[in-house]
Amino acid sequence: MEISAIFFYVLAAGAVATGLLTITRRNPVSSAMFLILHFVCLTGLYLTLQAQLLAVLQVLVYAGAIMVLVLFVIMLLNLGDEEKLTESVNQRSLVAAAIGAVFALQLILAFTFDPSPRYSALPDNAASVGTVEAIGNEMFTTFLFPFEAVSLLLLAAVIGSIILAKRKLRS
Amino acid sequence: MHSIPLEYYLALSAVLFTIGSVGVLTRRNAIIIFMSIELMLNAVNLTLVAFSAYLGDIGGQIFVFFVMTVAAAEASVGLAIVLALFRNKETVYVDEVNVMKW
């Protein structure tokens, strides 16, 4: 087995394991820590797909910015005693697990129903797709309008989160 | 280049998406539900990057860029909602919040 295939299997196993740990931990802080590890595994997977820029952005934006924000909120709320954090296995979680199993089966069957031999290996020109140069070139020509529109979205998110978090809503 | 078929990446992201959706369905803590949504977004991102790399089409990676932006916006607004919720109801457990339940 070649080295990049080993990388894929190790990172895939790591991503699934850390994903499962994220949704099963009782303490939200350890959930967040495993989610950061999950993002690191995904970064490795992006690198096996030769998407360098997105691998860097994954660490910067997700592991850096978003998870720090999540951890800040967890610490800010000070979710106190562990007693309140206990979540038992009940009927709802069993139903959810059954739905999840069916859902996973469906997705995997749909994706792998008719494997095309054309996509059995990464093409040789894949490394030229994910470079900063190629993405930047496309971003500022074809996708210029969506790129500008996203800045409005971010402005709306900034204003919205300030208003939501600031005002005391008394009911 | 390596010889992992495209389907392996798709199956992996299907599994990751399912883990995220099971997390949303089973957990009560709003912050963990929020993190499960991030898991699902990332599973879809992996699909997009895999297709982009195998088809040699850059559009998929541009789309991931926009998904990341939306995820950042969603993170700030969602966590602000959780903060406001905790301030008013002293809880982050979604089954204890029923103001808007009909």
Residue-averaged pLDDT of chain B: 88
State the Cα–Cα distance between residues B23 and B26, nearest whole angstrom. 5
A143/B62 touch (CB, cutoff 8 Å), yes or no: yes
What number of other Cβ atoms are within 10 A of residue A109's Cβ?
11
Q: Residue B29, SS3?
A: strand
A138 in reach of chain B (CB within 8 A): yes
The second-level CATH assignment, the architecture, of B6-92 is Orthogonal Bundle (1.10)
Q: What is the pLDDT of residues A103-137, one digit of tens each?
A: 888 888 877 777 667 777 777 777 788 888 989 99
| pLDDT of res. A42 | 95
A146 in reach of chain B (CB within 8 A): yes
pLDDT value at A87 more than 70: no
Q: What is the pLDDT of residues B54-99, one digit of tens each?
A: 888 889 999 999 999 999 999 999 999 888 888 888 888 887 777 7
pLDDT band at A39 (very low <50, low <70, confident <90, very high): very high
State the Cα–Cα distance between residues B73 and B7, nearest whole angstrom. 31
| pLDDT of res. A81 | 52
pLDDT value at B18 more than 60: yes
State the Cα–Cα distance between residues B6 and B51, nearest whole angstrom. 8
pLDDT value at A53 more than 80: yes
Percent of chain A with pLDDT over 70: 89
pLDDT band at A9 (very low <50, low <70, confident <90, very high): very high
Q: Are A18 and A41 in contact (CB under 8 A)?
A: yes
Q: Where are the domains of chain B?
A: 6-92
Count, in order, helices (H) and strands (E) of chain A: 7, 0
pTM: 0.88
Distance, in angstroms, between B14 CA and closest chain A CA?
A: 6
- Report how many Cβ contacts below 8 Å link chain A to chain B: 249
Q: Which residues contact B34 (CB under 8 A, 6 or more apart)?
A: A70, B75, B78, B79, B82
Q: What is the pLDDT of residues A58-79, one digit of tens each?
A: 999 988 889 999 999 888 887 7
Using an 8 Å CB-CB cutoff, list chain A residues near B80. Answer: 160-162, 164-165
Distance, in angstroms, between B100 CA and closest chain A CA?
A: 13
State the Cα–Cα distance between residues A121 and A3, nearest whole angstrom. 14
Q: Which of A101-105, A145-149, B44-48 has the lowest mean pLDDT?
A: A101-105
Please give, one letter per residue, the 3-state secondary structure of A101-118.
HHHHHHHHHHHHCCCCHH
State the Cα–Cα distance between residues A149 and A20, nearest whole angstrom. 35
Q: What average pLDDT does the segment A43-71 reach?
A: 91
Q: What average pLDDT does the segment A81-106 reach?
A: 72
Identify the residue whose tokens are 């929020």: B34
| pLDDT of res. B46 | 94
Closest CA to B64 of A63, A135, A102, A142: A135
State the Cα–Cα distance between residues B64 and A138, nearest whole angstrom. 13
Could you give the maximum distance between any two Cα atoms of chain A, in Å?
63
State the Cα–Cα distance between residues A38 and A21, nearest whole angstrom. 10
pLDDT value at A168 more than 70: no
